[in-house]
A = this chain, B = another copy of it.
Amino acid sequence: MALRESGEDYLESIYVLSKHQGIVRSIDVAEYLGVTKASVSKAMATLESNGYVEMGKRDVHLTERGLEVARQMWERHCFFVGLLEDAGVAPEVASQEGCHLEHCLSEESFEKLRSMLRRDGASAPTMTD
């Protein structure tokens, strides 16, 4: 089953939160994304059944497969946010809009765009990979 935009967002947020916290719980994801814990619960069930995450008693973590997607999304996020910030967009707006841009391109297209614009990892929005 193909991953949708919201699924990618969930994976990405688990990835980002795990860098801050180590252990990530559903409630953390809910707060980070601004959705209810019921939404996270439902989403995690789907992601788990598709092999993107594993759920322990009181934590969620990415599988190898989920990690790959999450890293890619985060990379794109950083790229687009940096690009927008360089263009003069306010960080908060850039971050918000980058969240949508990051889901629009295929792997190949993204790589081509990044090569052309070669932003050389400048200004990761919050932290580095």
Hey, which bits of chain A sit against chain B, CB under 8 A?
83-84, 86-89, 93-94, 97, 100-101, 103-106, 108-109, 112-113, 115-117
Q: Would B106 and A104 count as touching, CB distance under 8 A?
A: no
Residue of B nearest to A102 (CB): B104
Secondary structure at the A interface, as helix, strand, loop or mixed, is: helix
Instruction: Contacts A101-B101, A104-B100 given; indicate if A116 touches B93 (C-beta within 8 A).
Output: no
Q: Say which residue of B84, B101, B106, B116 sits within 8 Å of A87 (CB atoms).
A: B116
- The answer to whether B88 and A112 touch across the interface, beta carbons within 8 angstroms, is yes
Of B84, B109, B117, the contact of A93 (CB 8 Å cutoff): B109
Give bound CA distance, A90 to B109, whole Å: 9
Not counting A87-B112, A101-B101, a sample of 6 additional A-B residue pairs whose C-beta atoms are within 8 angstroms of each other reads: A84-B112, A84-B113, A93-B109, A97-B105, A97-B106, A100-B104
